[in-house]
Amino acid sequence: MNGAGLSARRILQRYYVAHDLPGRLRLRPLPEVLHGPLSSAELLVLKSAFPGAAVTVSPLTGSIAIRYGGVDGDLPAPVMPNPVPGKLLSFLYPPVVNFVLAVFRAFPYIVRGGAMAARGRFTLEALDAAALLVCLARRDFKTLSALTFFFAFGEFLADWTRKKSRCSLEKSLTLQLNAVWVRRESGEIRISYNDVREGDLVVARQGAAIPVDGVVEEGEGFVNQSSMTGESLPVARGPGKSVYAGTVLEEGELVIRAARVGRGTRIHALALAIEESESLKAAVQGRYERMADAIVPYNFLLGGLVYAVSRDVRRAGSVFLVDYSCALRLTAPLAIFTAMREAADKGVLIKGGKFMETLAEADVVVFDKTGTLTKASPTVVDVLPFGGRGSDHILRLAACLEEHFAHPVGQAVVRASEKKGLRHAEEHTRVDLVVAHGIASTWQGKKLCLGSEHFICDDESIVLTDEQRGIIDRESAKGRSVLYLSMDDELAGLLLIEDTLREGAADVIRALRVDGLRRVIMLTGDGEKSAAAIAGQLDIAEYKARMLPEDKAAFIRDLKRQGHTVAMIGDGINDSLALSAADVGISMAEGADIAREVADVVLLNGDLAALLSARAFSREALRRIRTGFRNSVGWNSLFLAGGLLGLLGPGLSALLHNATTAAIAVSSMRPFTGGGEVGEQGEGA
């Protein structure tokens, strides 16, 4: 640390290390330490204490992220250097230089392997170290150089297959608010977001993100809560109603009594749960690494037995130089990398090999409704006129009123009118918005009202006939929202609004069942009628309505306890906790930043059919890894036998071993498809 170190040290005493990952350190406030958020001066002190690093603080999570190696938060983390250029240049160096380079490059592997062996862990690293030590003992520097190259190349490829860049979680969740308006006795004042406290009266205006969890004290408005609850349409909020940080006020103005701020908000709780879940995922070893590690002790036993019987270092060295792990080190990452690249061409981003394995083995798939199975875009699906009026007339009048406002339902009405080519003159008088209820105006001397049932039937006292009530009940049972238009004292017409299904969703559901999925389940924050309607259209027998984010995650965990391998598909902040709880989380590309961040698989083009391609590519990648492993065991067993019988020396054994490894690796990189068959057929071979 520089001269600001003492101050920085005092600041850091309030935090503990939550994650220490390559290129990134995350600090989280100690729960027993009571203090407010970092001030601007404290942040400057921290930044000066870590020169060359990017220091960011999240007001929502309260954590500090310190990045080094990629100082801009969006830069990729450092990756292993590509050893191929250095290997090519080595052919131009004199022997003495290659000797020094070989020893220099082997030293880290020997140290690492020796440390593992000293702890009683006979892993691949320990076997690599033994092979390199045999080469050094025999002064076989050509073999030593070849081995270090293959080791480095395998590490490079494995590192490359990992996700190269990841936006920080707190950046995905940040509301991007620098200042907030609050009401004081002297009037409204503008204060820093970090200075908002529980009990403050926070003023939220149309188009702004709500910065706190709280209860509405004054005002009325429509709030888009899809990010938190999954509801497809904005909901009316007035005095006494709860609102949440991260949701958006689309219409009106609200004065909110802050109940939870900063790290106390629901969105912060989601962030912490997701971070913990992600850190657990990162600690899991791949199946094939464990398989390779399981073979290593037998290599050591065999090598020791050979030396004990023959006292021949040459023969014992052949055992260490011909192992079964090198091919796996290359085959697995190369097969996965090829599958990832071709899957991306098909519109699927898969973030790592372990997610491919899980996706291929998933037997239950759980869908979010809004934005995943549906488009999350309201659409007018029908117009029902009454009193001898025409449907175009009703739609024209409704569009004439709605075009003055930016409400999503109103925009759907305007789009429907434009699609039919309807034109209208401005014959109505001043348009009044009755916030959270509807619109009122006068047309040709008649009073027009457009809005909810409460507005039309309760506020305006319009009486519905039995026939009209029956129609409304029938359409509501289909999951449609109903927009009422009255003229004077009678109902003039109904506009039926629907969040339409995503193209091909029903076909994908059927194909997933054919593809081996035992259960297909839909979860949604919407009401029972809407959920039942969508589930019926998609032939989904299992669904749950009115699910909060915590409910979705709990449901996923319960499925896992039952022994299922669960794939979860969602697109909103409200889905992110469930995505992280699932064995493999899948997000739509147009979904919320946090959903894409947490997800292990992203459908880049919004096409659900890409999920079938992803499963097919995953199965094919795993098949190639298994095939490569079997080939490695078969061929290297022959080379091992040749070394034990004295037919192959260490140099020739290493050459054959490396050549076979390269051939298996190249085979794993061959194109997965001949024009897209894997993705289209849904099969991996």
The mean-pLDDT minimum among 118-127, 154-163, 263-272 falls in 154-163
Q: Is residue 248 part of a domain?
A: yes
pLDDT tens across 301-317, in order? 777 787 777 777 667 76
Domain boundary among 213, 245, 264: 264
Q: What CATH code is carried by the domain that includes residue 584?
A: 3.40.50.1000
Separation CA 474–CA 629 (nearest Å): 60
Q: Please, which pLDDT band fits residue 155 given cuts at 50, 70 and 90? A: low
In the predicted structure, residue 281 carries a pLDDT above the cut 70: no
Per the structure, the complete domain to which residue 140 belongs is given by: 85-161
Q: Is residue 584 part of a domain?
A: yes
Shared domain check, 601 and 508: yes
Shared domain check, 490 and 521: no
Domain boundary among 78, 103, 122: 78
Domain boundary among 616, 642, 668: 616
Q: Specify the pLDDT at position 289.
A: 57
Residue type (1 letter), 26:
R
Q: Please, which pLDDT band fits residue 36 given cuts at 50, 70 and 90? A: low
DSSP letter string, 162-192: S-S----HHHHH----SEEEEEETTEEEEEE
Is the four-CA dihedral 324, 326, 327, 328 of positive or negative sign? positive
In the predicted structure, residue 675 carries a pLDDT above the cut 50: no
Separation CA 316–CA 300 (nearest Å): 9
Contact 561, 573 (CB under 8 A): no
Comparing C-alpha atoms, which of 326, 312, 296, 5 is closest to residue 155? 326
Mean pLDDT in residue range 650-669: 70
Q: Is residue 289 part of a domain?
A: no
pLDDT tens across 83-142, in order? 656 655 665 667 777 777 778 888 888 888 788 778 777 766 777 787 788 778 777 777
Q: Specify the pLDDT at position 228.
A: 62
Tell which wins on pLDDT, 153 or 486. Answer: 486
Comparing C-alpha atoms, which of 663, 666, 640 is closest to residue 131? 640
Tell which wins on pLDDT, 322 or 496. Answer: 496
- Reported for 12-15, long-range contacts at CB under 8 A and 24+ positions apart, including other chains, are 12/46, 15/64
Alpha-carbon distances, residue 625 vs 123, 495, 632 (angstroms)? 20, 56, 10
Shared domain check, 509 and 491: no
Q: Is residue 247 part of a domain?
A: yes
Q: Specify the pLDDT at position 46.
A: 75
Mean pLDDT in residue range 470-498: 88
Number of domains in the chain: 5
Q: What is the mean pLDDT of the chain?
A: 75
In the predicted structure, residue 226 carries a pLDDT above the cut 70: no
Q: What CATH code is carried by the domain that includes residue 209?
A: 2.70.150.10
Contact 484, 491 (CB under 8 A): yes
Shared domain check, 528 and 431: no
Pair type for strands 566-570 and 584-588: parallel
Mean pLDDT in residue range 170-197: 74
Shared domain check, 491 and 513: no
Shared domain check, 348 and 206: no
> For the whole model, what pTM was predicted?
0.56
Shared domain check, 575 and 469: no
Shared domain check, 64 and 32: yes
Q: Specify the pLDDT at position 677.
A: 40
Separation CA 22–CA 70 (nearest Å): 11
Contact 90, 141 (CB under 8 A): no
Q: Is residue 361 part of a domain?
A: yes
Q: Is residue 67 part of a domain?
A: yes
Q: Please, which pLDDT band fits residue 274 given cuts at 50, 70 and 90? A: very low
> In the Cβ-directed half-sphere of 401, how many Cα atoms lie within 13 Å?
26
Separation CA 159–CA 148 (nearest Å): 16
Of 213, 323, 368, 526, the catalytic one is 368
Tell which wins on pLDDT, 643 or 397. Answer: 397
Q: Specify the pLDDT at position 162.
A: 44
Where do the H-state alpha helices sit in 515-564? 528-538, 549-561
226: its two tokens = 């899809």
The sheet with strand 24-29 has its strands ordered as: 15-21, 24-29, 64-67, 54-57
φ, ψ at 350 (rounded to 5°): -110, 125
Shared domain check, 597 and 512: yes
Mean pLDDT in residue range 345-360: 79
Q: What percent of the chain has pLDDT over 70?
A: 69
Shared domain check, 596 and 448: no
Shared domain check, 509 and 360: yes
pLDDT tens across 354-409, in order? 788 888 889 999 998 877 888 767 889 999 999 899 999 999 999 888 877 666 67
439: its two tokens = 């619109």
Tell which wins on pLDDT, 653 or 484. Answer: 484
Q: Is residue 298 part of a domain?
A: no
pLDDT tens across 419-437, in order? 888 876 555 556 776 655 6
Shared domain check, 155 and 228: no
Establish whether 368 is a catalytic residue: yes
Q: Is residue 593 part of a domain?
A: yes
pLDDT tens across 519-562, in order? 999 998 776 777 888 888 899 999 998 788 888 999 999 999 99
Separation CA 233–CA 408 (nearest Å): 8
In the predicted structure, residue 492 carries a pLDDT above the cut 90: yes
Q: Specify the pLDDT at position 258.
A: 93
Tell which wins on pLDDT, 379 or 664. Answer: 379
Tell which wins on pLDDT, 209 or 77. Answer: 209
Q: Specify the pLDDT at position 558.
A: 95
Q: Specify the pLDDT at position 21.
A: 54
Mean pLDDT in residue range 656-667: 73
